[in-house]
Amino acid sequence: MKRLPGEIERESFSIIRSELEGRGIRLPKESEAVILRCIHTSADFDYAENLRFTPEAVSLGVRAMQRGASVVTDTNMALAGISRPGLAKLGGAAYCFMAEEEVAGAAKAAGTTRAAAAVDFAAERFPEAVFAVGNAPTALLRLAEKIDEGLRPALVVGVPVGFVNVVESKERILQVCRDKGIPAIVALGRKGGSGIAAAVCNALIYTAAGMLDPKDRGWK
């Protein structure tokens, strides 16, 4: 039996909502779209409990998208997963600077990672971007330093995955963003990844562009 993409997504979200209800979990309306899309992307219900949001992070992120904010991410995988049609509708664009020669040279000169050097590169060009980190804790730690130095991004999405400095980097960025009043969405613990970074961004983009329902993305 053939199933169209829109039908599959709608049924998937219905199953997710039903399972959440069965677990006694009620999602806050403010963050529901983000949490549901993270679970849909990963089939991991832990995101109903490990995502942390600073006050009004989702609504502020949606407003940033509606203003045509740029999105800067730390992997080409996340970049590929972020909805280009949605961003185009809003007048925004997404970037990953990891492969830039200038970034490689700066990382070598400073004895740091490309991910950290890419944060510096992006901060100079798009200081009010949405920064979405799904892989490199060093990017998140450098972003925290830049915020302490005065950088004011529109939103920080901190969801790197792994074992080394991952938990610490997330706790650090969340505290810095809370202290400086910067909107942040962070997945505490070890879980995350490029797909989750893209999922968070897409939830905000689809909300901002009125595209949460697949039919509004041209799907039946």
Note whether residue 31 is domain-resident: no
Note whether residue 126 is domain-resident: yes
- How would you list the strands of the sheet with 155-158, edge to edge? 51-53, 184-187, 155-158, 130-133, 71-73, 94-96
Note whether residue 28 is domain-resident: no
Note whether residue 157 is domain-resident: yes
Contacts within 8 Å (CB) and 24+ apart, 26-32? 30/56, 30/58, 30/59, 31/57, 31/58
Q: Which residues share a beta bridge with 53?
A: 185
- Residue numbers of the domain that contains 167: 49-217
Q: CB–CB of 198/174 below 8 Å?
A: no
Which of 40, 52, 114, 172 is labelled catalytic? Answer: 40
Q: Which residues share a beta bridge with 187?
A: 51
Q: CB–CB of 194/75 below 8 Å?
A: yes
Note whether residue 13 is domain-resident: no
Mean pLDDT score of the chain, rounded to an integer?
A: 96
Q: How many residues does the chain have?
A: 220
pLDDT value of position 1: 60
Note whether residue 72 is domain-resident: yes
For residue 53, the surrounding DSSP H or E stretch is strand 51-53
Note whether residue 70 is domain-resident: yes
Retrieve residue 105's tokens: 């040279």
Q: Can you say how many angstroms the Cα of residue 96 is from the centroid of all Cα atoms in its chain?
A: 13
Domain CATH for 166: 3.40.50.10230
The pLDDT averaged over each successive group of 10 residues in the chain (220 residues) is: 82 96 96 98 97 98 97 97 95 97 96 97 97 97 98 98 97 98 98 98 97 85
Q: Model pTM greater than 0.85? A: yes
Retrieve residue 209's tokens: 């562009």
Strands 94-96 and 155-158: unpaired
Check if 71 is active-site: no
Note whether residue 128 is domain-resident: yes
Helix (H, G, I), strand (E, B) or coil at 192: coil
Give helix 101-110 / helix 114-125 axis angle, nearest 10°. 120
CA distance 47 to 41: 10
Category of 107 on φ-ψ map: left (φ > 0), alpha (ψ -120 to 50) or beta? alpha
**Number of folded domains that form the chain:** 1
